[in-house]
Amino acid sequence: MKAKNISMAQYVVMPIHREGWPFIALFALGALLLGLLWSPLGWLGLAATLWCASFFRDPDRVTPNRAGLVISPADGMVCMVGHAVPPEELGMGPEPRMRVSVFMSVFDVHINRIPIDGKVVRVAYKPGKFLNASLDKASEDNERLGIRVELPDGREVAAVQIAGLVARRIKCDISEGTEVIAGQRYGLIRFGSRVDVYLPDGVAPLIAPGQRAIAGETVLADLDGVEPARDGEVR
């Protein structure tokens, strides 16, 4: 395969998601008004504006393209790995499946990406609370939006966007019947949240709690692999 060069300009100056520009403009206006009142407040407003721009950054990612790999849909820390029943509205049955939960802080990239190649057969939204997204009960009680992706062989992988303590909007740009590829952008959550990934029966996760995941790049599982579930420890 021919090597491709990545320019340093693309690496250092990251693009901004279109949803972010209105917020950045509001933050910048607020910083200007605060600066007119008292210059130290203006500097604080400038810092907040830079944070807002950072929140909506939308970097390109290099996605592994081998069939069967489940790729992280979110940047952040893997906060939970274990069996759980998928949300009822996704129609995946009452049996527990292996779930990998990725928690996104307000400092992480919040663009969400499709975890695997396939066809979106279900998009389901459920209103709810805004508890701390790192809590296990957030998967049941919080506002959420899930997608179910079906592979050609009939197996299914689901990704569920979960609103958090300060998150008040889940955005999903994908619809039922859409053919998707792993790493494809499909939505975001404002501001701080979590994404749960539900794997097919018998598939072991290849990432451990406490590890960092990168949306569109980190492999969460291999549907065709035989490696047992990975463990890890802080060192």
Who wins on pLDDT, 121 or 4?
121
pLDDT of residue 81: 95
pLDDT of residue 52: 82
Is 139 known to be catalytic?
no
Is the separation of the CB atoms in 104 and 195 below 8 Å? yes
pTM over 0.85: yes
Question: What mean pLDDT do residues 62-68 have?
Answer: 92
**Cα–Cα distance for residue pair 184/189, rounded to 1 Å:** 16
Q: What residues does 125 pair with on adjacent strands? A: 145
Buried (b) or exposed (e) across 103-128, using 16+ Cβ within 10 A?
bbebebbbbbbbbbbbebebbbeeee
**Cα–Cα distance for residue pair 34/45, rounded to 1 Å:** 7
Domains and CATH numbers, the chain: 9-55 (no CATH), 69-222 (2.70.70.10)
> Taking 80 as the threshold, does the pLDDT of residue 62 lie above it?
yes
pLDDT of residue 3: 47
Instruction: Choose the catalytic residue: 72, 134, 139, 193.
Output: 193
Q: What is the pLDDT of residues 193-229, one digit of tens each?
A: 899 999 999 999 999 999 999 999 999 999 998 888 8
**Cα–Cα distance for residue pair 144/170, rounded to 1 Å:** 7
Percent of the chain past pLDDT 70, that is, above it, reads: 88
Who wins on pLDDT, 112 or 10?
112
70-to-6, 46, 132 alpha-carbon distances in Å: 25, 39, 26
